[in-house]
Amino acid sequence: MEHSIILRMNNIVKDFNGVKALDGVSLEVTRGQVHGICGENGAGKSTLMKVLSGVYPVGSFDGSIEFEDHEVAYKSINDSEHDGIVIIHQELALSPYLSIAENIFLGNENATRGVIDWNKTNREAALLLARVGLDENPATKILELGVGKQQLVEIAKALSKRVKLLILDEPTAALNDEDSAHLLGLIDHLRTQGITCIIISHKLKEIKRIADTVTVIRDGKTIETIDMNGPDATEAHIIRAMVGRDLNNLFPPREPAIGAEVLRVENWTVHHPVDVARKVVDGASFTVNAGEIVGFAGLMGAGRTELAMSLFGHSYGTNISGQVYKDGKEIQMRTVGEAIEHGFAYATEDRKRYGLNLIGDITVNVSAAALAKLAKYGVIDRHREYKVADSYRQKMNIKAPSVGSITGKLSGGNQQKVVLSKWIFSGPDVLILDEPTRGIDVGAKYEIYGIINELAAQGKAVIVISSELPELIGICDRIYAISEGKLTGEVAKADASQETLMHYMTAGKD
Amino acid sequence: MTTTTPASKAPTEPPVRRRIPKLSINLRQYGIVAALAVIVILFQILTDGRLLLPGNVNNLIQQNAYVLILAIGMVIVIIAGHIDLSVGSVVAMVGAVAAISMNNWGLPWWGAVIVSLLVGAAVGAWQGYWVAFVGIPAFIVTLAGMLIFRGLTLVLLTGGTISGLPAEFTAIGAGWLPSYLGELGGRDVLTLALGILTAVALIVFQLRNRATLARLDLPREPAASMWTKNGIAAIAIIWFAWLLSDYSGTPIILIVLAALILIYNFVLNRTVFGRHVYAMGGNLFAAVMSGVKTKWVNFYIFVNMGVLAGLAGVVSTARAGGAVASAGQNYELDAIAAVFIGGAAVQGGVGTVVGAVVGGLVMGVLNMGLSILSVDAAWQMTIKGLVLLLAVAFDIFNKRRAGGR
Ligand SMILES: Nc1ncnc2c1ncn2[C@@H]1O[C@H](COP(=O)(O)OP(=O)(O)OP(=O)(O)O)[C@@H](O)[C@H]1O
Ligand SMILES: [Mg+2]
């Protein structure tokens, strides 16, 4: 039983209106192992897992699936869950107004004749939370939890379904290092309990640390299956399989040409929109110069995104105070419209909620923040709009048949590139990028760093918010650390190390 | 140990990328036009050819003009993610004001029209204020509006009716363009000329559009499909004119409708305002974060709906020849049904003017066909309800198939 194969997917082909997302992928997963899946954005990883879990029902794809030595034909996600296959999607799917316990047992309630047994529900939920190491009251509402904790609730939910094969699609994309480490530890722990796990990730370090075997997918085909205890278990090897060539540097070279001060923020204070007494950003003062890339490092909830959003047209918070100077002159940005007029752009970390019109195509999304540039007397020049969108599709290497493709159907990483395109096209002087490479594959990351460099070279002031410290250190000229709403440190590139940053990021914490 | 799985044996060329998405969208548009054609043919057979008698074709336009006008406003409201339940009451109230302004204040017909549109705009501004700036859901605001404006209509008319409106006014709803070009074999030449002109304009416009696309090297629909589609449309237009020319010529309201369709189609497809409407319906937060002034866009959407409801009030009062307190009953439901039959999405973000108009015509043909067959009103309502449900179900089914899930 030890080394038996739990899952075999043979020659899976899946196409969407003639566009092949999967083109003969095969996959073998050994029982009790952690199996990593790597591949570029749009390679077909998420689609493969949706095929496996019955999101795409049998008949909508070609090829066969064997689970525990039986050929299976799932018509829905319920069928696969019945067999013990549980998928946690790239985008979390918890109901924000329900409690942890209610979410865990949603669709699977502890009920007799339709009446829920709350004692049992809460008791069992507490046990499951203990298993995933989440110290929260089961009655807490989901919306009060950060992404990291929500992820754990998803896993608790999976455990409640007696999971045999747990599928995690980019579980750590939105997590900071601490939460990621906890999650990986949990996966290790589940492995000792005999639960098989498939994990998709663009963070190759994690894959290297956790996976026993890795399958690499490119353009909808299986490229290689790598034994992670063997000689090929290197990041470089995985990257080569993913992108089809060697990638020697993680960061493109750059000659910073730093000019005059563009942005100066003084004493920026923002209060929580509901809990008005609480300061989310507390007296932050900083500057960004032309041609400079400035990073903001902080733990989850430190107030980085809140700082950025409150600057950008007061999109977050109440009782906002402080001064903003652009090119030495004090400015007011009370609405997003004003912020854009003042030459600001903010590419959000939450693309589904704030970034994209998911039912619109690539064209309308790319032009959304800068229609004025494409319009005369309120009438849009649609040919030019198309050309612009298409040029970004090529430049950013957005994987889609055409710019007429609906953004909701793009892979996660390609959606991210659409968000970036939109704000780059708006032609800002100050560009705030919040987690710009979240969910982006290694090759594309390099391209995006190149684009950031190019923007800086054009004399723009660029702010990068990121949870990945190596990324900040790799691309920024200067990094501010933020902890509990206060700026706690400023580090020049030369002095930046993960340790120093971590020191400032946790300053003031016990 | 590295194993290369057998699946990746032969290096194959990259997958051929076909341009399907564009086409599947068009299919949806064709779907509703095809449905209209099917219903027309069905009733043409059931009524032994009476459906398409010239008089009935004329009535189809004049009787349904109000739904089509309301549907044009409503589709914008619905794309933006709202709803307007008050338009029926607004139609009644504007009708009352129009009648009073002519009969009691002695305004000329055009004065009454201007007053009507202004009243409509004021109503729209009122509702738009509550929706956009106070943030009350449109469902509630317009439900309240439905009661408020119906109540005000009763107050204005003190329960009675006002009839005896000037002939110039009633012509808006029930009149025709004069026969400027005379008649040929009993047919109105102007109507025929307009029909041919429209058909030619359609083809010329499409060809020019195509030429621009070609020049810019943008993806185009295959020539065969374009010619079939526009050929059929051109023939349908000429045939339609042929029928009308045999009756009393071109209904005045048809000209008004044609202008509205052209204008609003342009507004939704080509202007920044229209784009903002779609963006807000698609993802309100993303629209806000892209700098769309969502409050003002919402406000204008309702002002526009109010003006169009005012126009619908003028048209239906003119057609009826007088104002009654019960006018406009259920008009909001007709307009909403037309919009959804025309392919709009309940969640917002999706919908077209042409779709809404075709949806309105589907309802109109149903009404007329069932009346000719003297199906009683109770069954008419039931059948219309079922058609609405089936149309939307068909649309969802289609989308699901196209989406591959
Ligand atoms: N519902 C859909 N309709 C049309 N095309 C789709 C749909 N879902 C996925 N695709 C296409 O299939 C391809 C594979 O997408 P998938 O989401 O599996 O990529 P991925 O490997 O998970 O990428 P990422 O790392 O960016 O998440 C993409 O080109 C995508 O555009
Ligand atoms: Mg994915």
Looking at the fold, whether A179 and A273 belong to one and the same domain comes out as no
Q: Residue type for A172, please?
A: T
Q: How confident is the model at residue B9 (pLDDT cuts 50, 70, 90)?
A: very low
Residue B127 has a pLDDT of 98
Give the position, in ligand 1's atom list, of the atom nearest the Cα of A414: 26
| Domain containing residue A68 | 5-243
- Asked if A26 lies within 8 A of B5 by C-beta distance, the reply is yes
Give the DSSP letter of residue A171: T
Do A330 and A213 sit in the same domain of this protein?
Answer: no
The residue out of A243, A270, A300 marking a domain boundary is A243
Same domain, A270 and A374: no
Residue A130, both tokens: 């203990």
| Last-in-domain residue among A195, A213, A243 | A243
Which class for B251: exposed (0-12), middle (13-18), buried (19 or more C-beta within 10 A)?
buried
Residue A251 covered by a domain: no
Q: Which residue has the tokens 């564009």?
A: B22
Would you say residue A255 lies in a domain?
no
Please provide the average confidence, as pLDDT, over all residues in chain B.
88
DSSP annotation of A143 reads G
Q: Is the pLDDT of residue B1 over 60?
A: no
Confidence check: pLDDT of B341 > 50: yes
Q: Is there a single domain that holds both residue A144 and residue A227?
A: yes
pLDDT interval class at B30 (50, 70, 90): low
CA nearest B337: which of B363, B316, B355, B370?
B363
CB contact (8 A) between residue B2 and residue A387: no
Instruction: Print burial letters for A3-31: b (CB count within 10 Å at least 16), e (below 16).
Output: eeebbebbbbbbbbbebbbbbbbbbbbbb
Give residue B2's pLDDT.
42
Is the same domain home to A274 and A307? yes
The CATH number covering residue A28 comes to 3.40.50.300
The CA distance from A146 to B137, in Å, is 30
pLDDT value of position A94: 86
- Closest CA relative to residue A270, chosen from A306, A297, A324: A306
Written as one letter, the residue type at B279 is A
**B17 — pLDDT class (breaks 50, 70, 90):** very low
Within a domain: A363: yes
Nearest ligand 1 atom to alpha carbon A44: 18
Helix (H) or strand (E) holding A498: helix A498-505
Total length of chain B:
405
- When mean pLDDT is compared over A132-136, A443-447, B297-301, B365-369, the highest value belongs to B297-301
Domain identity same for A408 and A436: no
Predicted pLDDT of residue A508: 67
Percent of chain B with pLDDT over 90: 69
Atom 7 of ligand 1, residue of closest alpha carbon: A409
Asked whether residue A60 is domain-assigned, the answer is yes
The CA B269 to ligand 1 mean position distance, Å, reads: 28
Instruction: Please check whether residue A348 lies inside any domain of the structure.
Output: no
Which residue's structure tokens are 């032994």? B48
Q: Strand A486-492's sheet: what is its strand order?
A: A344-347, A430-434, A461-465, A293-298, A478-483, A486-492
What chain A residue is nearest to B276 in terms of C-alpha separation? A368
Contact B21 A406 (CB under 8 A): yes
Chain A partners within 8 Å of B270 (Cβ): 379-380, 382
Of B14, B278, B345, the CB nearest to A219: B14
Query: What are the start-end ranges of the H helices in A211-302?
Result: 235-243
C-alpha distances in angstroms, A80 versus A33, A83, A156, A291?
19, 5, 17, 52
A364 and A333 both lie in a single domain = no
> What's residue B181's pLDDT?
87
Other C-beta atoms closer than 10 Å to the C-beta of A474 total 19
Sheet architecture: strand order including A329-331: A279-289, A261-271, A318-326, A329-331
Contact A357 B273 (CB under 8 A): no
Residues 390-429 of A with CB under 8 A from B: 401-402, 404-406, 409, 422
What is the predicted pLDDT for the residue at B405? Answer: 37
Provide the sign of the torsion angle of the four alpha carbons B203, B229, B271, B215, taken in this order. Answer: negative
Residue A17 shares a structural domain with residue A79: yes
From the CA of A47, give the closest atom in ligand 1: 18
CB contact, 8 Å: A91 with chain B? no
Please provide the size of chain A in residues.
Answer: 510
pLDDT in tens, B106-163: 999 999 999 999 999 999 999 999 999 999 999 999 999 999 999 999 999 986 889 8
User: Which amino acids bring their CB within 6 angstroms of ligand 1?
Assistant: A 16, 19, 21, 39, 41-47, 90, 399-400, 409-414, 441; B 403-404
Q: Of the residues A369, A392, A427, which one is the last residue of a structural domain?
A: A427
Q: Write down the H helix ranges in B166-188.
A: 167-174
- Note whether A326 and A273 are same-domain residues: yes
Give the three-class secondary structure for A222.
strand
**Hey, what domains does chain B have and what are their CATH numbers?**
6-175+263-402 (1.10.3470), 176-250 (no CATH)
pTM score, whole prediction: 0.87
CA of A245 to the centre of ligand 2 (A): 22
Q: In Å, how far is A364's CA from the nearest CA of chain B?
A: 8
CA neighbor of A274 nearest in space, from A332, A335, A317, A215: A317
Residue from A48, A440, A132, A495 nearest A481 by CA: A495
Q: Identify the residue with better confidence: B88 or A17.
A: B88
Could you give the C-alpha distances from B238 to A357, B126, B193, B203, B341, in angstroms and in order? 40, 43, 9, 13, 26
**Shared domain check, A293 and A415:** no
- According to the model, what pLDDT value does residue B394 have? 78
- Within a domain: residue A61? yes
Encode pLDDT of B50-85 as tens digits: 999 999 999 999 999 999 999 999 999 999 999 999
**How many separate domains does chain A show?**
3
Q: Residue B220: is it exposed, middle or buried by C-beta count within 10 angstroms (0-12/13-18/19+)? A: middle
**Beta strands A115-116 and A478-483, pairing class:** unpaired
Per-residue pLDDT of chain A (510 residues; tens, 9 = 90+): 456 899 999 999 998 877 889 999 999 999 999 999 999 988 999 999 999 999 999 999 999 999 999 999 999 999 999 999 999 987 777 888 899 999 998 887 777 777 878 888 888 899 999 988 888 899 889 888 877 888 889 889 988 888 999 999 998 887 877 888 989 999 999 999 999 999 999 999 999 999 999 999 998 999 999 999 988 888 889 988 988 877 777 889 888 899 999 999 999 999 998 888 999 999 999 999 999 999 999 887 789 999 999 999 999 999 999 999 999 999 999 999 999 999 999 999 888 889 999 999 999 999 999 999 999 999 999 889 999 999 999 988 898 888 989 999 998 889 999 999 999 999 999 999 999 998 888 888 888 899 999 999 999 999 999 988 889 999 999 999 999 999 999 999 889 888 899 899 887 665
Residue A137 CB coordination number (10 Å)? 12
Whether residue A254 lies inside any domain: the answer is no
Q: Domain check: are A311 and A408 in the same one? A: no
Specify whether A413 is located in the same domain as A477. no
Ligand nearest to the CA of A41: 1
Domain presence at residue A462: yes
User: Is residue B310 helix, strand or coil?
Assistant: helix
